[in-house]
Structure 1
Amino acid sequence: MDNRVALMAIIVEDKDSVKELNELLHEYGEYIVGRMGIPYHKRNISILSVAVDAPNDIISSLSGKIGKLKGVSIKTAYSNVGNANG
């Protein structure tokens, strides 16, 4: 199955979900190209961007699990870049 490159935009409004979010990101760590987190103290939220390179079903699985966390919103944008291996 071909890998796709995607960017996940995540907003955390409930700080109690941060531990679960980090555990999920660690679980899927082999697919993560990079991540950046920005605490936005003025609004009491955190904003994360996570770049992934993975099969579509892996990206969908991670996105779905993150979206089920309390107080967490996620949107995923997919590139049209094909598999780097071929």
Structure 2
Amino acid sequence: MESRSVGVIAIIIKERDTVACKVNDIFTQYGSIILGRIGLPYRERNLNIITLIVDASTDQIGALTGKLGRIEGVTVKSTLAKL
């Protein structure tokens, strides 16, 4: 049986206009592991903050966060609970 984790991924996006399409494309690719998504614009600082709740293998979560982290202007952190 594949080991799965439930986790939270925090994403901070600088200058949303230039990277939103790339970020949303990645979300679509990994939509099957995303249980929930909350997004908040922080207009005063030109930032967007997104939180994802995921349920997947650590390899899948690592692939998702790795792709997001390679986008310039995107910062990603995750925390996982092994179940």
TM-score (norm 1): 0.91
Q: Please identify runs of 4+ aligned residues in structure 1 that moved more than 6 A.
A: none
Matched, 1:37 2:33: no
* Aligned residue runs from structure 1 range 8-47, under 5 A: 8-15=9-16, 16-47=18-49
Determine if contact 1:14/1:70 at 8 Å carries over to the other structure: no
| Deviation by residue 1:19-67 (Cα, 9 ceiling, x = unmatched) | 0000000110000010000000111100000010001100000000000
Q: Using the TM superposition, give the Cα deviation of residue 14 of structure 1 relative to its aligned residue in structure 2, in angstroms.
A: 2.7
What amino acid maps onto 2:46 in structure 1? N
RMSD: 0.7
Query: 1-side partners of 2:74 and 2:20: how far apart?
Result: 9
Name the counterpart of 1:54.
56
Quote the Cα distance in structure 2 between the aligned partners of 1:25 and 1:49.
12
Are residue 66 (structure 1) and residue 61 (structure 2) matched?
no
Identical-residue share of aligned pairs (%): 35
Q: Give 5+ residue unaligned stretches, structure 2.
A: none
TM-score by length of 2: 0.94
Q: Distance in 2 between matches of 1:42 and 1:14?
A: 12
How many correspondences in the alignment?
A: 81
**What residue is the counterpart of 1:5 in the other structure?**
6
| Higher helix proportion | 2
For structure 1, the 5+ residue unaligned runs are none
